[in-house]
Amino acid sequence: MTAFRFELEQLRARKKDITPKPSLTPGGKLERDVHKEVERQMQQKENELTHALYGGLEKIRNERALKAQKGYAKAQFNQQSKSKGIQM
């Protein structure tokens, strides 16, 4: 498991555990604003981690496909060169 995935899963698990508990809180608008800001920051961090994780995966897939295409083209060229009797 990658560090990004681990952190992303921790963040999502923490988000699920947020439940109101009786405590000494200021209440009212101030409390709502703080909770909204915390939620916004958590969502932003989750989005960043998801983008980093899947963006990197997409880059690896693209590079792998490109390498396979280059290898296939090289093999085709070598095969055609041999069939025509061209010395390299």
**pLDDT digit string (tens) for 1-24?**
677 788 888 888 877 766 666 666
> Is the pTM value of this prediction over 0.85?
no
> Is residue 52 a contact partner of residue 11, using CB atoms and an 8 Å limit?
no
How far CA 13 is from CA of 5, 10, 28, 39, 84, in Å, comes to 12, 5, 27, 13, 63
CB atoms closer than 10 angstroms to residue 49: 20
- Rounded Cα–Cα distance for residues 75 and 81 (Å): 10
Q: At what angle do helices 28-84 and 3-16 cross, to 10 degrees?
A: 150
What does the alpha-carbon distance between residue 4 and residue 7 come to, in Å, rounded to a whole number? Answer: 5
32-57: per-residue pLDDT in tens?
Answer: 898 899 999 999 999 888 888 888 77
d(CA 5, CA 51): 11
